[in-house]
Structure 1
Amino acid sequence: MASEALPGGWALDDGVAALFFEGNLADVVTRTPDAALHRVARDVSVSTGPTPETTETRLTARSL
């Protein structure tokens, strides 16, 4: 991602499902304890050099 070879995106642990409504994340559910959805993005605001850093935000899933 830092080299822009891959775009930012969503990563889901096994057993997780994400529901999007009109392009926005609406719900995250799981059948697996401690599973989550992860948002990974380039973050130029924390860059200390010519290559932007990447950030990962963990979103806890609601148990089914």
Structure 2
Amino acid sequence: MTATDTDTLDLEIAIAHAAVCVARAAAARCPSGENTRWVAEARARVDALLDRRLALR
């Protein structure tokens, strides 16, 4: 993987983290099954991206 690929992956992680923050805020304002699922999906995306990033080490 090149430095550009790593930078792209880091950017994806940052964006996915922002999605987690948005999902958590929505769930805090309006607790619902849909918002809970959205938080779980966003966290799973971050976890998957972090796993890929750690695999590069």
TM-score computed with the length of structure 1 as normaliser: 0.28
Bigger RCO (CA 8 Å, 6+ sep): 2
Counting helix residues as a fraction of each chain, which structure ranks higher?
Answer: 2
